[in-house]
Amino acid sequence: MKIRVQGSGFGVQAVSVIIILLCLASNVYAHKVSIYAYAEDGMVFSEGYFADGSRSRNSRVEVVEAETGKKLLEGTTDDNGRFSFKIPGVASLRLILHAGMGHQNDYTLSREEITEAMEKGPEAGDQGPVVNRRETEDNPGVSVPPAAVPGVSPSEIEAVVEKAVDRKLRPVLRILLALKENSEKPGITEIIGGIGYIMGLMGTAMYFKSRKAK
């Protein structure tokens, strides 16, 4: 069969390349690594993931002081891409994730977050095993400073409140994390937009070349 295409010699090429890509692009995946971290109970919990949602396993995480760049410690992520460590001191911490082959990203925890997690740390220990705060996000609005309430001990109130809030917030947190991961995936808008830019550049280049030719 002979196909005839008028105009630019690249008509067929364009169509064939685009068809091939569309067939393959059933799953839009990316090639970018991210790290997310939060501080709690005197510990820092971090998680590394690629833009397609898969975890960054066995990757080196370097912890440095954000202001000075001084290296404090380093470690590797586990099979779930997680890495946690005890807060080395009150300072703004930057976690740098090295996923190998030139992939790298970082996440900075502010001094306030660290300070708060340090303050809460020992208290949580005093309360015993009542509180399960493993999954809690470090949220300044949630932490209730122990106030003197007659009759009930402050730590008891805090424990109950924490537990309830934890339960309520867990699904919300999960949704937020999923949204965050999703927002880092390139969407159809970016893809079409990028192709549009290239076509625009092509038009501009052709316009100037055609003027020169005249």
Partner 1 sequence: MHISEGVLSAPVLATGALLAAGGAALGLRKMDYERIPGVAVLSSAFFVASLIHVPAGPSNVHLVLNGLAGILLGWMAFPSILVALSLQAVLFQFGGITSLGVNTVIMAAPAVVSFYLFGPLIRRGHIMSILGGFGAGAAGIGIGSILVAAALVSTGESFAGVAKLIVAAHIPVMVIEGIITAFCVTFLKKVKPEILEVAK
The binding site for partner 1 (CB under 8 A) comprises: 3, 5, 8-14, 16-18, 20-21, 24-25, 27-33, 50, 52, 54, 57-58, 100-106, 184, 186, 190-191, 193-195, 197-199, 201-202, 205-206, 209-210, 213
C-alpha 35/C-alpha 95 separation (Å) is 8
Q: Report the alpha-carbon angle 80-84-86, nearest 5.
A: 170
Judged by beta carbon, residue 164 or residue 208, the one nearer partner 1 is 208
Question: Among 36, 28, 35, which Cα is nearest to 52's?
Answer: 28
Instruction: Pick between residue 66 and residue 165 the one whose CB is nearest to partner 1.
Output: 66
**Type of residue at 81:** G
Give one DSSP letter per residue of 148-185, joined into a string: --SSS-HHHHHHHHHHHHHHHHHHHHHHHHHHHHHHTS
Question: Rg (Cα) of the chain, in Å, rounded?
Answer: 26
Query: What SS3 class is residue 112?
Result: helix
